[in-house]
Structure 1
Amino acid sequence: MDAIRLSPPRRLSLPVNNRWGAGQMSVLDFGDVKRPVDLVFVHANGFNAMTYRSLLAPLSGSLRIWAPDLRGHGATRLPAEPEGRRGWGDHRDDLVSLLDALDGPPVVLAGHSMGGTASLLAAAERPGRVSRLLLMDPVIWGRLSVMAFHLPLLDRLPGRHPLVRNALARRNRFDSREQALDSYRGRGAFRGWPEMMIADYLADGLRETEDGLALACEPRWEASSYAVHAHDPWRAMRAFRGPVRILKAEAGSTCHVPARPRGLPHVTVETVHGGTHFFPMLKADVARDALFDASV
């Protein structure tokens, strides 16, 4: 890789003001500022845009890429109150603000896990601003489950998932970045990750407090995203008529879209063989090739 591709991204601050609250969205900007944005990439729940630097930076010699920190994550400063939250409409509307702020032709919108689903929801609201979607193991429940999550009481079922309990129990204070790195290296969701990628996650995943370092994505906010699913990605797939490519993990996938989804001829689903939910981290070459192919 040359020096351009290894150079750090610029950081932009985008004003956002919608019914979920006003503030500033942090956006990493990779590539040549003289060209319009080609690709917007959205991170998974609990992470941040910087986590994916080693995935995205090698593409910056050919593409200009924006990678935002979602509400409640990284360096973004927007209200993030879990109380009363029922779905991911906040992330959808924040991404709509980002799409509205872009100049130039429609962009490729891509994302991992929750970021993929939020991208899909936003594209359905602004189909003219998005040329195509690339979703990496998006969180999409089956059609009947999605219907159930919109019903009173039944919408609380995902709140009993182990991911919710694990997020609430997550350690939230560290004395140093080295201590945090030691606590994550080779463990849990980070097992098998390159150390550089964990360090990139911690770069924006920790914030300074009077008591040391704390997670930028508070455990209660992360847990709320695992617990609330009263949004409808199936409706969004019907509303957005551009090409949608889904890359689905072979093991532990969060995506319940079948290989040939009924009534959605513009949606293609492919399995990443040997890939887990974290294949963008563990098989970065597969994810990077897919991003490049979508954007040229």
Structure 2
Amino acid sequence: MLKHLAADFDLWLCDIQGHGDSDHGGRFHGWNRSAELAVEAFEAGRAPFGEVPRFALGHSFGGVLTSLILAKHPDLFQRAVLLDPVLFPPALIGVMAVSEVLGLHRRHTMARKSAARRKHWPDRAAAYAGLHGRGTFKGWDDAALWAYVEHALKDVEDGVELKCRPSREAEIFSSYPRRLWSSLNKIVTPTDILHGQHSYPFVAKAVARVTALNSHVRAQVVAGGHCFMQQTPEDSAERVRGFLLP
């Protein structure tokens, strides 16, 4: 998808703590601090581009971080697109908060699945074969899956492994952003949320809630799951482009 967007946009990409080529960084800093660190990195790195229109794009965890950034820095971006952001409904956040107090927060489904994710393969071809058509990778475009195998894995002594440790992903999904809904209400940047028809059930409910509460946010359902942009990268890029460059 990013390859398709590169024809019209200069892409500035940010690897959050423990993702991509960023350091693992010890203990997870949390959703809200991660959003502020992304802003610090963006401010430090955007000078070479000059004073040009700035747009925000984020998926899943990154989509939520983007929403927190939009709320706190309303003048930073002209428009934004959130791709299937994991916006936890207030009731779910309440359950997660209680679970955190009781020490049960690592037991819910998303955290368990993340912690159990396979992280090592003998080579990239084996990784591609092992991921193809399975779980969250089901239905991915071949070029998108190869891009994942190329960029999300690193070489190690006995093969390749995920750059983002499954334990870090589990830490993320066993925690939650603070003041999420008050932040969503503060967004004034024109924002479009694209969410998959077959994504997590709570995503559609949360998106319906935020669009009802905030007139600056609109939404559209697209074919596919949580990673629909990997299933239909060209169509997804066209939808993003259509909103950011009306």
TM-score range, shorter chain: 0.7 to 0.9
SS at the partner of 1:65? Answer: coil
- Whole-angstrom distance in 2 between the partners of 1:90 and 1:203: 29
Higher helix share: 2
SS at the partner of 1:213? Answer: strand
Equivalent residue for 1:266? 216
- 1:203-260, Cα deviation, whole Å (9 max, x unpaired): 2222233343221111100111121114233222222211121112222335222167
Matched, 1:67 2:13: yes
SS at the partner of 1:79? Answer: coil
- Whole-angstrom distance in 2 between the partners of 1:73 and 1:97: 17
Shift in Å at residue 80 of structure 1?
4.2
SS at the partner of 1:246? Answer: strand
Aligned residues: 238
Between stretches 255-264 and 238-247, larger displacement belongs to 255-264
Q: TM-score, normalised by structure 2?
A: 0.85
Shift in Å at residue 295 of structure 1?
2.7
Runs (5+) with no aligned partner, structure 2: none
Matched, 1:77 2:26: no
Shift in Å at residue 164 of structure 1?
1.8
- Whole-angstrom distance in 1 between the partners of 2:111 and 2:94: 21
- Whole-angstrom distance in 1 between the partners of 2:198 and 2:84: 11
- 1:163-192, Cα deviation, whole Å (9 max, x unpaired): 222222222222211121111112111111
- 1:27-67, Cα deviation, whole Å (9 max, x unpaired): xxxxxxxxxxxxxxxxxxxxxxxxxxxx1222222221222
Between stretches 214-223 and 103-112, larger displacement belongs to 103-112
Determine which of 59, 63, 66 is the counterpart of 1:119.
Answer: 66
Higher relative contact order (CA 8 A, sep 6+): 2
SS at the partner of 1:197? Answer: helix
Q: TM-score, normalised by structure 1?
A: 0.72
- Whole-angstrom distance in 2 between the partners of 1:106 and 1:186: 38
Matched, 1:98 2:41: yes
Determine which of 236, 244, 248 is the counterpart of 2:183.
Answer: 236
- Whole-angstrom distance in 2 between the partners of 1:106 and 1:143: 34
Q: 1:211 to 1:275 in 2, by over 3 A?
A: closer
Runs (5+) with no aligned partner, structure 1: 1-54
Q: Which amino acid aligns with 2:235?
A: V
Equivalent residue for 1:57? 3
Higher strand share: 1
Determine which of 53, 67, 88 is the counterpart of 2:31.
Answer: 88
Equivalent residue for 2:163? 216
- Whole-angstrom distance in 1 between the partners of 2:210 and 2:113: 34
Q: Which amino acid aligns with 2:191?
A: V
